[in-house]
Amino acid sequence: MTTENESTVEEELRFPQANVAAVEGIADVLDTSFGPLSRDKFIGESIASKSTPDGTAHDEYVVTSDGGTILESLPMEHPIAPVFKRIVGDERPGETDVEGERVTDGVTGTVMLAGLLLSEAEELIADGLHPTTIREGYATALETTEDALRSARRPLTAGDDATDRRQSVAQTVMTGNDVGGKAERWASIATEAADMVGYPTPNTLGIESVSGGSVEDARLVRGTILPRNTFARDEMPTEIEDANVLVLSGYKRTDAADGRVGGLRNPELQADATLNVSSPDDIDDYNRLYAERREQIVDRLVAADVDVVFCRLGIDTEFLEALVAEGIAGVRGVNRNRLTRIARATGAAVVHDPREVSAADLGFAGRVAEIDVGKRSGRRSRRRGILVEGCTDPDSVTVFLPGLGSERGMEAGRQIRKGAAAVALASGDYGETPGVVPGGGAVDIGIARDVRRAAQKRDSRLQVAMLAFADAVEGAPAGLARNAGLDPLDTVSELVTASNGYDVGLVFPEKRVGNAVEAGILDPYATRRHSYVTAVEVVGTILRIDDAVDADVPQTPADEGEAIYDDRAEKHQDHLEEHGTDGTVWG
């Protein structure tokens, strides 16, 4: 039998210590992936196959040192996981058309800081300090942290060579994830991409890696690449200069007589459509109508001076023959995202109904051509793709990564996106404050110093929490030193002694204490501020939790007059109607 006191002790061991232990476990996983001399993580998962009738399981895996990718890929079943995954960003279910989705950066540092803050909090709780006081001390220390970051911030354009400083920002964020030893090249491409499209989104910055070619030929394309598409007929031209581009998207629903139209195809009749056929001549009449429609559409393409048409859907044989006769190239079955990139790069409008095409809908590309994109798996033949380049003032660009397999290509793409995002944030895109702060743990040492000074002006309990915050902050440069094979205590001590501002940090690959700004080790101000704010917010949320309650939904609806709030009663009724009283989903 458990006494009341024993029960209380058991609860105190569960909360917040249980959640702290879970977060510390996650932080330990990411610890060795922090810094320029980090190590990769292998995350594997056996999942059911959709391509085999029996659903045979196959292995999916990720090999990366990118903190955001690791955190998103980790199979976390602990109840605190949804709270902690806020570090990566807001959850968006399924596919989304929302532009500006944040590129995850600084995740590893944020996770480590949150883990260190919670570890310090756990010790303070054991010593009798209340979680509320700890949260208040951390919040007060965060105010000092933000003041320090503002003091350390400097404009991205300062210095003799602003371009070099921008590239330094991109290269710093990629440090530790140098795919193929091409960090400088990836940083240059990322900087160029940020200059063209600003903060990258899936629609403004595409990444296409192919096995063929050499990684030395990696470049930024002012347009896009379709690695799995070719021109629809061999008789079509394989290269078009100064091309007028038409983009045809998916279906457009029309009236029942026309059915659905999409691509360059005959309309698809509705499932409930009825054809009244009394003689073979009626069939000929329908075929004649389709032929007239095709002729009308092709005439519009010719009148608009279309050189290339990209279709989300198919192109019927009769249309292909008509396009060949008019010297128009056609590409069918283009992925939706790539089709969007073509439109944004060329300036074309996305057209749904080919009967409504006009010259105003067309975009421009300096060159559209078939290119070699590598060897086909298990075959002698080479794979061909489509290159769209030379676009004027494009709103979408694509990084072309030849000579990189799928995993290396994905990792290189992640780093280039992060580099472009860092340059854009430092430039003030995405609604963020522009500027950079010294990296290599330099600004962290300065923050820890400022927080300790500020703590001296607070009462004793708040002071203890603020000093714990400062100790946790120094864990960042300690982690950098540890992963570089240096003694963390000696290194942090040397940094503290040498620091007289916010510029002295660890300089790599030399593994020395020096001026981080002069060494070109620069982080976006917005990223570092976001890291500190997020870590403190998540830690505060976790420290507030003192119990876990399973919410049971009653299996009978509330009677009239029993519900305090009508909207709650309506939601309860909706739940029962959707799931049934036995919890089984209907449908």
Q: Is the pLDDT of residue 99 over 50?
A: no
Residue with tokens 């067309």: 362
Q: Is 244 left (phi over 0), alpha (psi -120 to 50) or beta?
A: beta
Looking at the fold, whether 331 and 246 belong to one and the same domain comes out as yes
Indicate whether 263 pLDDT > 90. no
Residues with Cβ within 8 Å of 275's Cβ and at least 6 positions away in sequence, in order, are: 269, 282, 286
CB 36 within 8 A of CB 509: yes
The pLDDT of residue 525: 95
Domain that holds residue 465: 12-154+461-544
- Is position 411 within any domain? no
Structure tokens that stand for 54 in this block: 């029996």
Asked if 74 and 139 sit in the same domain, the reply is: yes
Cα separation of the two ends of the chain: 47
101 or 209, which is more confident: 209
Residues 21 and 133 in one domain: yes
pLDDT at 184 over 70: yes
Greater model confidence, 565 or 118: 118
- For residue 53, what pLDDT band results from cuts at 50, 70 and 90? very low
CA distance 393 to 396: 9
Average pLDDT, integer, range 513-541 = 91
Give the number of domains in the chain.
Answer: 3
Q: Is 278 helix (H, G, I), strand (E, B) or coil?
A: coil
CA gap 465, 454 in Å, rounded? 12
Report residue 382's pLDDT band, with 50, 70 and 90 as the boundaries.
Answer: confident
Q: 569 and 486, same structural domain?
A: no
The residues that bridge with 207 in the sheet, in sequence order, are: 399
329 vs 331: CA distance, rounded Å: 7
**In-domain check, residue 353:** yes
489/355 same-domain check: no
Report the distance separating Cα 358 and Cα 342, nearest Å: 18
pLDDT at 339 over 90: yes
Residue 530 belongs to a domain = yes
The pLDDT, as a whole number, for residue 16 is 58
Is residue 576 helix, strand or coil? helix
Strands (E), 99-223: 205-210, 219-221
With cut-offs at 50, 70 and 90, classify the pLDDT of residue 163: low
Claim to verify: residue 133 and residue 33 sit in the same structural domain: yes
Domain boundary among 311, 339, 366: 366
| CATH of residue 136 | 1.10.560.10
User: Is residue 556 pLDDT above 60, yes or no?
Assistant: no
Q: What is the pLDDT of residue 570?
A: 52
In a domain, 379, yes or no: no
**Lowest-confidence region among 37-46, 247-256, 421-430, 470-479:** 37-46
Least confident among 365-379, 452-466, 551-565: 551-565
Q: Which residue among 336, 366, 396 closes a domain?
A: 366
With a cut of 80, say whether residue 366 has pLDDT above it: yes
Confidence check: pLDDT of 574 > 50: yes
Name the more confident of 62 and 511.
511
Of 63-72, 139-148, 197-206, which one has max mean pLDDT? 139-148
If one counts every other C-beta atom within 10 angstroms of the C-beta of residue 72, the result is 16
In a domain, 126, yes or no: yes
Residues 532 and 472 in one domain: yes
- 572, containing H or E segment: helix 566-579
Q: Which residue has tokens 């036995």? A: 582
Is the pLDDT at 563 greater than 50? The verdict is no
Residue % of the chain over a pLDDT of 70: 66
Give the pLDDT confidence score for residue 158 in this predicted structure.
53
Q: Are residues 478 and 557 located together in one domain of the fold? A: no
Last residue of a domain, one of 339, 366, 393: 366
Question: pLDDT band for position 342 (50/70/90)?
Answer: very high
Q: CB neighbours of 219 closer than 8 A, spacing ≥ 6?
A: 189, 399, 400
Q: Is 299 contained in some domain? A: yes
Same domain assignment for residues 587 and 528: no
The residue count of the chain comes to 587
**Does 197 map to a domain?**
no
Q: Is the bond preceding residue 509 a cis peptide, omega within 30 degrees? A: yes
How far apart are the C-alpha atoms of 364 and 367, rounded to whole Å? 9
385 forms bridges with which residues in the sheet? 371
- 3-class state of residue 61 by DSSP: strand
pLDDT number for residue 319:
93
What does the CA dihedral 119, 124, 127, 130 come to, rounded to 10 degrees?
A: -130
- Tokens 């393409």 sit at which residue? 301
Which residues fall within 8 angstroms of residue 537, CB to CB, at 6 or more apart?
Answer: 86
Q: CB–CB of 565/152 below 8 Å?
A: no
Residues 287 and 312 in one domain: yes
In Å, the largest CA–CA distance within the chain is: 98
Same domain, 246 and 311: yes
Bridge partners (DSSP) of residue 374 are 383
Mean pLDDT, residues 337-351 taken together: 95
Is residue 402 over pLDDT 90?
no
Q: Is the pLDDT of residue 545 over 80?
A: no
Per-residue pLDDT tens digits for 297-323: 999 999 999 999 999 988 999 999 999
> Which range has highest mean pLDDT (62-71, 151-160, 312-321, 323-332)?
323-332
What are 503-517's pLDDT values in tens digits?
Answer: 999 998 888 999 999
**pLDDT of 29 strictly over 70:** no
- Note the pTM of the prediction, 2 decimals: 0.75
- Predicted local confidence at residue 26, as pLDDT: 65
Using the structure block, give the residue that is written with the tokens 């980090």.
38
What burial letters (b/e) apply to 321-355, b meaning 16+ CB within 10 Å?
A: ebbbeeebbbbbbbeeebbbbbbbbbbbebbeebe
Residue 393 gets the label, from left (phi > 0), alpha (psi -120 to 50) or beta, of left
Long-range contact pairs involving 197-200 (C-beta distance under 8 Å, separation at least 24): 197/394, 197/395, 197/396, 197/397, 197/420, 198/424, 198/427, 198/429, 198/430, 199/100, 199/103, 199/420, 199/421, 199/424, 199/425, 199/429, 199/430, 200/103, 200/417, 200/420, 200/421, 200/424
User: Residue 266 maps to which CATH number?
Assistant: 3.50.7.10
Nearby residues of 155 by Cβ (< 8 Å), 6 or more positions away: 434, 435, 436
Identify the band that residue 365 occupies on the pLDDT scale cut at 50, 70 and 90.
Answer: very high
* Predicted local distance difference test score (pLDDT) of residue 415: 85
Within-domain flag for 579: yes
More confident residue, 262 or 359: 359
Asked whether residue 580 carries a pLDDT value surpassing 90, the answer given is no
Eight-state DSSP code of residue 78: S
Q: Which phi and psi (to 5°) does residue 263 adopt?
A: 70, -160
Strands 382-389 and 239-248: unpaired
pLDDT score recorded for residue 11:
43
Between 112-116, 238-242, 544-548, the lowest mean confidence (pLDDT) is in 544-548
Q: Examine the domain organization and report whether 359 and 467 are in the same domain.
A: no
